[in-house]
Structure 1
């Protein structure tokens, strides 16, 4: 087969029922010049049997040893990809049938943009629509959205992203040391290289509230955000962007400390706040007062545990 226009990157580890739906949503795409590379992270035999049974020549399965790190699986698939664009799909999510066609048309109409994302619909573990009540409103930010990403004002699901393969490779792909927030880590680097095109139509379907979801552990997730902002506080190209990263690091350290307290880990809360104090005091003036309140909570919890 000649080089396809799009290489679809799909990492998976079991979740067979969801995986079947994800793969089916690719096969019903109205645009069919694609290849799909499924990076299997050491799934059980039932899932492997399903994957071996996919007969379409456009599908390649990579059989990987289990790591539990999606970035490793995605990067392995990216290295095998041949398409001009990369599109990403997680194994518990889905695409609308016109997703590739509409998004590729949008990119072709915006030749200055090397990547694109779309709005998404949310479903629950059983596939029923999830209301967006209480969630931040969707805003279709386009152009230079680096600041919007740093503030998490641009809400981007990995399933909604298409990017030039060459640009993803230029940025180094997914950071395999970034266990959580690895998708936003990539978006920041993409945004610094190219304006973003946005499609204000929900063309991807993201499963929210799935207990098997990789991001379910909130402590690890916020530790990932702290790690991300620490990195970019030192490496972003402008003083303004680095200041935003330092502020976001400080805010996420406070949330992480609070999560440790709620989990009955006052010592971890203390260590989190002490680790963050020097930089956070300068980056975020309210830090001292808010950190003192969290430390007081940690002390109270530790006293109760000893009583």
Structure 2
């Protein structure tokens, strides 16, 4: 088996119904030089049962004793990765067969630390099926623009492993928006991003059965905390400060209205 060109990080918590399709979408890539690390976040029953009959040496399974969240699951794979790149894919999303074939050439430019693409959305409440409607503003890696909202579909991001480790990996105290914080840190570190305007993944819109991020209110608060953490370390970077100010004022108004 050739040396892997990327390590796919797949955290899984009670994802028995969707995990198999996600794993198969990785193992079916037209670029076969990869390793896939599935991190079982203390699922009950263990996630191994879904993968017992998969006989592929590229697949590794790591089981955590406690649920470390998405960030902890990704870090468990990040710090075990044997490839120079790491790719994000959650256990309820899937790649198109030529995802890696389309994304990996972006890293021929040594200044590129992250590459991503558009994605097809499954199950959006309004039927919307395209994550990125206007490709003219991508790749997005400059402040303050990147701080306005998360511009990168999570299942399409591939990152230089050394860059992800250098910025501290995924924030364990960030239960949501940990991927967005990673992108902001990479941009702040000076890495450029590359964008491929094709729907190279299938992103399952969050629901009550697929994870925490289906709840809009907690997600808003976690994003506020994420911006605040970033500002605490990089107070002069334009963009995040405005987000903190705007969102804090919005929270104060919400409290006034609730009286």
2:51 and 2:57 mapped to 1: Cα distance? 13
2:57 is the counterpart of 1:57: yes
Larger of the two Rg values belongs to structure:
1
TM-fit CA distance, 1:192: 2.0
In structure 2, how many angstroms separate the alpha carbons of the residues matched to 1:103 and 1:129?
A: 29
Q: Greater CA deviation, 138-147 or 50-59?
A: 138-147
Q: CA RMSD in A?
A: 2.4
**1:1-307 residue pairs with structure 2 within 5 A?**
3-45=3-45, 47-67=47-67, 69-108=69-108, 110-124=109-123, 130-132=127-129, 137-139=133-135, 140-142=137-139, 144-152=141-149, 155-193=151-189, 194-211=191-208, 212-236=210-234, 239-241=236-238, 244-255=239-250, 257=251, 273=252, 291=253, 294-299=254-259
What is the rounded CA distance, in whole Å, between the counterparts of 1:142 and 1:181 in structure 2? Answer: 19
Unaligned runs of 5+ in 1: 258-272, 274-290, 300-307
Task: Tell me the secondary structure at the aligned position of residue 116 of structure 2.
Answer: strand
Which residue number in structure 2 is paired with residue 262 of structure 1? Answer: none
Distance 1:136 1:95 in 2: 16
Residues 57, 132 of structure 1: CA spacing in aligned structure 2 closer, same or farther, 3 A cutoff?
Answer: closer
Contact 1:138 1:155 in 2 (8 A): no
Give the conservation status (yes or no) of the 8 Å contact 1:51–1:61.
no
Structure 1 residues 60 and 210, CA, compared in 2 at 3 Å: closer, same or farther? same
Quote how far apart the aligned CAs of 1:2 are.
Answer: 5.8
In the TM superposition, residue 104 of structure 1 has moved relative to its aligned partner by 0.6
Shift of 1:148: 2.4
Looking at structure 1, the residues matched to 132 and 32 of structure 2 have their Cα atoms a distance apart, in angstroms, of: 34
CA spacing shift, 1:209–1:86, aligned 2, 3 Å: closer
Q: Give the Cα separation in 2 of the matches to 1:145 and 1:116.
A: 14
Aligned residue pairs: how many? 256
CA contact (8 A) 2:89 2:154 kept: yes
Give the gaps of 5 or more residues in structure 2: none
Higher helix share: 1
Go from structure 1 to structure 2 and tell me whether the alpha carbon gap of 1:250 and 1:12 turns closer, same or farther (over 3 Å shift): same
Q: Quick one: higher RCO (CA 8 Å, sep 6+), 1 or 2?
A: 2
SS of the residue 2:11 aligns to? strand
How far did 1:132 drift? Answer: 4.7
Secondary structure in structure 1 of the residue aligned to 2:118: strand
Once the 2 structures are TM-superposed, how far is the Cα of residue 6 of structure 1 from its aligned partner? 0.7
How far 1:4 moved relative to its partner?
1.3
Distance 1:204 1:16 in 2: 20
